Amino acid sequence: MDVATLPQPLAFEWDDNNQNKIFLKHGILKTEAEQAFFNRRLYWFDAIHSHKEDRYNLLGITDLGKILFITFTLRKNKVRVISARIGDKREREKYAKET
């Protein structure tokens, strides 16, 4: 599976419980996760976790410079964030090297 093209204009769909879980567990606000899609980013298909639906991983940067690792899917031409967290050292290095 190739990487899907992100919908244009970019729109998001959020599950309220998931949004709260991401903030409580990782301290990432919904707005920060969305910023990562608009700034320099790289993303790829996640074949390992794409059993029920196609999932993708994204490394992107917030407006304040946080590098995030985000798992998302596309539903009805919208991005639905499944999880978001601060990128670990290896992910930050990959982001710096490949963007």
5 pLDDT tier (thresholds 50, 70, 90): confident
Domain span at 30: 12-98
6 found inside a domain:
no
Of the CA atoms within 13 Å of residue 59, those in its CB half-sphere come to 16
Give the number of domains in the chain: 1
**Token output for 62:** 């917030």
1 found inside a domain:
no
2 pLDDT tier (thresholds 50, 70, 90): low
Q: Are 87 and 96 in contact (CB under 8 A)?
A: no
| Choice between 63 and 3, residue whose per-residue pLDDT is larger | 63
Q: Each residue of 19-78: pLDDT tens digit? A: 999 999 999 999 999 999 999 999 999 888 888 899 999 999 999 999 999 999 999 999
∠ Cα 33 20 43 (to 5°):
25
